[in-house]
Amino acid sequence: MDQIVLLDRTERYLRGEMTPEERFAFEELRKEKQEVDQFVVEHHLFAANLETYAEMERFKANLYDVHHTLKETGELAEVKPAETGRLVAFWSKYRRTIAVAASIAGITALLTSTVTLIFSPKTPIRDIEELRRKVNTLEVRTNTQDRQIKAVNQKIDPNAAVTFGGTSFLIDPKGYLVTSAHVVDNARQVFVQNKDGQDLKTELVYIDKDRDLAVLKIKDQDFIAPTSLPYGFRKAVSDLAEPVFTLGYPKDEIVYGEGYLSALTGLKGDTLASQIAISANPGNSGGPVINRNGEIIGILNARQTQAVGVVFAITSRQLIRSIEEHKEKDSSLNIKLPTRSTIRGIDRIQQVKKIDDYIYMVKVIG
């Protein structure tokens, strides 16, 4: 469709200016064509922002007008300061004294630093000793690292074919992780790697193919279980156009991405999923979708990408339901999802710093 026509129709649709027949036809078109739906959702968000901005500008213009009218009619007379500000008074009274005091202080400071410079002993020997100590520490550290590398090599079979499957994150401090089912499907062994590059062995707890979710558990002596998780899981439905961010491993290091919720349902009206406008690629699959309050609203599912910058996420409600269903089947399953976020109201950089320890790269050995 011609873009100008699409814009025109979208604007009329959002303003409620369409006839019922037109409206019905347009809604059918939205269901049929994902790019039209995406355009409408985006335009809705944009238009709402533009309208609030416009209202604010109109209000400010009125404030400005009123101020000037009242000033001209003399109804806003200027008030003279009742007394000069105390600071100003102090300054004019003691200006000269302060100037003299300041110059004396300046000269003294200069003198002191010169004297210190001339008379302070030079200490090259101490510097060298310091350097030697540092080199020794470095050597010790290198040896330790060598040992650790060996240990890691023993753990992972070097001949095994490792594929960087996707992303996963902790859902329970005891070591339970969630990822996308398609990431770990048919895997012989799954390792997860934290942001420091440490590999940890995991076991598959269960796989829920209908929802494309898989739960893993870290079974590795090197795993240090945290006492709690900083984020919570959102139970309620999320808001359209809510800004979200994600952390994941589309490559060999953790990558941050931002976007917003662009539709409440996924592909072809799939109610398990939400649509998100964010740049992601298959390695992001299984990563968390987090809102500004630090609540997880979904699990990214970047398997099918239809349009650039549009991906889907399995909603956190589906994860909650999936776990409940499996608890009924297997009473030994002891997972408790955190519901409260402790990173609400802090800035994004701090939020990411508190979260990224709990996001892992999934390495699949097939």
277 CB burial (10 A radius; 0-12, 13-18, 19+): buried
Picking from 30, 31, 29, 8, the residue whose alpha carbon sits closest to that of residue 18 is 8
Q: Which of 217, 225, 224 is nearest to 184 (CA)?
A: 217
Indicate the residue among 33 and 60 with the shorter CB distance to other proteins. Answer: 60
Q: How far is the CB of 61 from other proteins (least distance, A)?
A: 9
In the complex with other proteins, the residue whose CB is nearer, 77 or 135, is: 77
Nearer residue to other proteins within complex by CB, 24 or 53: 53
Determine the Cα–Cα distance for residues 26 and 47; give it in Å rounded to an integer: 18
Q: Are 261 and 296 in contact (CB under 8 A)?
A: no
* Footprint of other proteins (CB under 8 A): 3-4, 7, 42-43, 46, 49-60, 62-67, 69-70, 75-83, 85-88, 243, 258-260, 277-278, 292, 348
Residues 257 and 280: their CA atoms lie apart, in Å, by 8
Shortest distance, CB of residue 201 to other proteins, whole angstroms?
A: 37
Closest approach of Cβ 47 to other proteins, in Å? 9
Q: Phi first, then psi: what are they for 218, rounded to 5°?
A: -75, 125
In the complex with other proteins, the residue whose CB is nearer, 277 or 314, is 277
Residue closer to other proteins (CB basis): 24 or 256:
256
| Rounded Cα distance, 301 and 180, in Å | 7
Tokens standing for 185?
């499907």
What is the closest distance, in whole angstroms, from the C-beta atom of residue 246 to other proteins in the complex? 12
Nearer to other proteins, 70 or 152 (CB): 70
Nearer to other proteins, 14 or 162 (CB): 14
Going from the C-alpha of 120 to that of each of 108, 111, 115, the distances in angstroms are 18, 14, 8
- Residue identified by tokens 């300041």 is 102
Q: How far is the CB of 260 from other proteins (least distance, A)?
A: 7
β partners of residue 360? 168
Give the C-alpha separation, 362 to 73, whole Å: 72
Token pair 């799954």 is found at 190
CB of 227 to other proteins, least distance (A): 30
Q: How far is the CB of 291 from other proteins (least distance, A)?
A: 11
